[in-house]
Amino acid sequence: MKIAQLSPYFYPHLGGVESHVLELSKKLIDRGHEVFVVTTRLEDTKKEEKIEGVPVKRVKPITILFSTPIVPKVNKVLLQYDFDILHAHVPPPLMAFSGARASVKKDVPFVLTYHCDMEIPNMLGPFIVALYEQTLGTYTVSKADKIVTTTTTYGATSKAVWYREGDVIPNAVDADRFHPSNEGKSVRKELGIGDKKMVMYVGRIVYHKGLEYFVRSAKYLDRDDIQYVLVGTGDFRPELEKIIKKEGLEDKVMFAGRVSNEKLPNFYAAADVFVLPSVSRLEAFGIVALEAMASEVPVVVSDIPGVREVIVEGDHGLLAEPMNSKNIAGKIRILLNNPDLAERMGKEGRKRVERKFTWEKVAMDIEKVYRSLLTR
């Protein structure tokens, strides 16, 4: 099959959707398909190139508004190429609208993976989102021959797609790359934390990740052998630094900054507990939790739709109340005070990844969707 993947952003821009599209494309190519990605051309990126063997075609945006690329030329670009399936990923949303129009003109099946709902953090945000959902969003969803969501609970609670029956196909992780045998001692040495208990977060440092509640949880853990490590970058860091200073947590919380793809697996291998404290519907799954589980690290994740489905509580990790620092601290305390329990959860988490969340399995499930549409 010839498959066009439509992604608003792509590597070197980092995020869950970007990671998903890259890994899915690589695996589909491994399975013998022709795949290319159409995405936004950002500064310092080439118009056409290959990323880890995946052909990428970039289209220059008119502007970027509310983190959404405005790229009307995508429709024209898509019409220039031959493909059997067009697979779009949202959010951000507008590129998928162009994809829906192109699929109608070319009369090819259109698959839409709905990764999460939109949120715009200002007073007009809810109005803008509602306006989009009732116009361009409705058109995009209505033209999709198949809707894919990554979890059952998220799809069932999303106003944008709940009236469409779709397939649930989760995110995945490279279980060979993220593995407990990776070298974690070098990371501990680099960070200067020695034998302290390392409680880690990985992801963008942005408001909807609930990081203010995460860092404040450190003050409720009455022990000196704990080091919180935040891996990633983002515009919320200055605010977090103010909170850390105000709470007197400078010795307990550190920022590791942006970590290269090569070194990231070693950071997971160095951690004792992984925490995903997200508070928003912008977090619909949490690939980073899978990366931790693949590394046999017990996890604490927010009890919100989508994210809660990554684990079975008590087997692979614990659920924490969103926006509740004391509760997050309590869950971390359970794992740190019960090393046998933490070890068991880590090992069970690895087994769960190998059963449900490998790219081989996810690519096969996506491939079945494609074939069902072409057959029909």
Distance CA 349, CA 98 (A): 39
Work out the average pLDDT over 254-271: 95
Cα dihedral sign for 227, 228, 232, 236?
A: negative
Cα dihedral sign for 20, 14, 287, 65?
A: negative
Q: What percent of the chain has pLDDT over 90?
A: 70
For domain 185-356, give the CATH number.
3.40.50.2000
Distance CA 20, CA 16 (A): 6
Judge: domain 2-172+358-375, CATH 3.40.50.720.
Answer: no
Give me the sheet containing 273-276, strands edge to edge: 253-257, 226-231, 197-202, 273-276, 299-302, 317-320
Identical fold between 2-172+358-375 and 185-356: yes
Distance CA 327, CA 333 (A): 10
Distance CA 297, CA 276 (A): 13
Enumerate the domain spans of the chain. 2-172+358-375, 185-356
pLDDT at 164: 65
Q: Which residue has the higher pLDDT, 177 or 44?
A: 177
Asked if 65 and 94 touch (Cβ cutoff 8 Å), the reply is no
CA distances from 152 to 77, 180, 222, 321 (A): 34, 29, 38, 20
- Reported as a single tens digit per residue, the pLDDT across 183-207 is 999 999 999 999 999 999 999 898 8
